[in-house]
Amino acid sequence: MTRPRCTVFLILLPPALLYASLFVGRFAVSPIDVARILFAQIFPIAHDWPKSVETIVLQIRLPRALMAMCVGAGLSISGAAYQGMFRNPLVSTDILGVTAASGFGAAVALLLSANALGLQLTAFAFGLAGVALTYRLARIYQTTPVLMLVLSGVVVAAFFSALLSGAKYVADPESRLPAITYWLLGSLNAASIKGLAMALPPIILGSLGLLLVRWKLNVLAMGDEEARSLGVETERLKGIVIVCTTLITAAAVSVCGMVGWVGLVIPHVGRMLVGPNHRLLLPATLSIGASYLLFIDDIARTATAGEIPLGILTAIIGAPFFAYLLRRTSATWH
């Protein structure tokens, strides 16, 4: 696929899937009715459709589809940025412990019978605290070596994973434990306009920050010494990347639970389409990630009578695809 065609494809794919998601579901809504309902929000069109249909499209399916796109795009661009910063194709968004910390925060909120907003705020706060602890442990003489960041992330993730196991151990097996287990598997079933309003600002802010420094990520991927010799303030750049990716990942985990493999696999798909240049790769991963998780969520809510957790589907699809990439590239990612 040529670059102009690839660009057009990546631009048109997310809105096309978004529109399709609004009429796909157990309750049948025709594509024409969906289009008329959407246009009626802008233009004076006669409302000759049932009120229940408009409620399904605007208050149930649209917030959920937008949430899936935001989470998928955010996790994908975060994974691409981390893989460039750490110079490692196996790096994903949970390397610094944000996912484990957010998971523990959500478990605490569920144990305390917090409402949806309280759960999201607690998970988001614990995610930020987990990465702050990782960054503090990795600091050595005013520097943050990549190896120390990775090792500190392993320690913090293991610590919060143990706390999460403890929370599940003391949880009521009749009510709290199933709620914690289901939340950890990942789902957009509780997506709402309020949840979207909470998750959207940090995801947008973090994504914009990564897009603004994507040129410097190309230099940072060459190594710290080479980047410093070219005038890049590596410690400052690392801090910006870590803050931006943490905002995105903590917000994503707080609203839909642990959704794995998106931040690991999608950046490689982007490299297959546009190459390793972060100036093109990061915008491409936004489009691919948004489309991918939206497609997965459509499958999750329509494939069976009961909703399938997102984490199960992303692992079932992501793991074999990543194995295929390994075989195709022979572990060469340049």
Structure confidence at residue 245 (pLDDT): 96
Contact 97, 68 (CB under 8 A): no
Predicted local confidence at residue 108, as pLDDT: 96
**72 Cβ neighbours under 8 A, 6+ residues apart:** 262, 266, 289, 290, 291, 292, 293, 294
Q: Do the Cβ atoms of 229 and 41 come closer than 8 Å?
A: no
Delineate the domains of the chain, giving CATH numbers in brackets. 3-42+53-329 (1.10.3470.10)
Cβ-in-10-Å burial (0-12, 13-18, 19+) of 140 comes to exposed
C-alpha span between 71 and 12 (Å, rounded): 18
pLDDT for residue 87: 86
Which of 216, 247, 245 has the alpha carbon at shortest distance from 232? Answer: 216
Mean pLDDT, the chain, integer: 91
pLDDT of 144 reads 77
Q: Six-digit token pair at 265?
A: 């696999």
User: Which pLDDT does position 146 carry in this prediction?
Assistant: 82
Sign of CA dihedral 30, 31, 34, 40: negative
Per the structure block, which two tokens stand in for 110?
């569920």
The pTM of this model reads: 0.93
Q: DSSP of 204-238, one letter per residue? A: HHHHHHHHHTHHHHHHHTT-HHHHHHTT--HHHHH
Distance CA 41, CA 228 (A): 52
* Residue ranges of the chain whose pLDDT lies below 50: none
With beta carbons less than 8 A apart as the criterion, state whether 102 and 119 touch.
no
Q: Residue 142: what pLDDT?
A: 72
